[in-house]
Amino acid sequence: MRIFAFLFSVIAMPAVAHEFWLEPIAYQIDPDGSLEAHIVNGQNFVGTRQVYLPQRLVHFVNIAGETGRNVEGRMGDRPALNQAPVAEGLNVVAYQSTNATVDYATWEKFQNFVDHKDFGDVLSRQRARGLPEADFKEIYSRYSKTLIAVGDGAGQDLRVGLETEIVALNNPYTDDLQDGMTVQVFYRHDPRADVQVEVFEKQPDGAVAVTYHRTNTDGIAQFPVIAGNSYMVDAVVLREPAAAIAAETGAVWETLWANLTFAVPK
């Protein structure tokens, strides 16, 4: 699988305690149609639609096969993505945010986040580093992708070079998904083994169900899907920030959020 390193460089960026995703207005469009998708920040597959703000992004690209193109927008555009597809087939749209920070007044709030994302015993690590258990800061970044079928929707998802990334190993628009949807989670160049993957399933009436899964030794997770529903897959990396970032921002933890959205046609 070719990695589009020329589009994405491995740079540390930011995140928040809410999911951040790309949500197409239509997951399947005609060959002469337009790719339209909102940037959304929220929880449980429901959130606030963000406008296009170039100062908040590092990369925003559309890839189909071996062809890639930057997403061009005007400040304030909503939906943030509104342009012709690169080609007929499976179009992969990927977005990397700039860094942002969030403050924690108490350990309890951070522990709730740690438990939700199944990061393990972070409190012991906090104490071992001699860090305060109140009034501390986290820096985060977003690495979001969506899959849109143009025309026949043929093709495969691929690694685009995000620092953390979820790759669909099935094409949800053309493959037989009787055995479920399979994804692979990466951090830098390596698969993420034995980590939590959170899956949000949205029905046509807007009802959302959430399930939790774990990757195997190859970073692969599989989950059932239902025709007619849309899906968001989320996986988060927690790490100590680089010394330069910690000194510049005061952050003591860093999170990197990988996200993937797609739909399963009826």
Q: Is pLDDT above 50 for 7?
A: no
**What are the E-state strand segments in the chain?**
19-24, 28-29, 35-43, 46-50, 57-64, 67-70, 81-83, 89-97, 100-104, 136-150, 164-168, 181-187, 190-191, 196-202, 208-214, 220-223, 230-239, 253-263
Mean per-residue pLDDT over the chain, rounded: 94
- Domain positions in the chain are 19-105+134-263
User: Mean pLDDT across the stretch 4-30?
Assistant: 66
Q: Which tens digit of pLDDT belongs to each residue from 193-209?
A: 999 999 999 999 999 99
Question: Partners of 259 in the beta sheet?
Answer: 144, 234
Q: Which tens digit of pLDDT belongs to each residue from 82-124?
A: 999 999 999 999 999 999 999 999 999 999 999 999 999 999 9
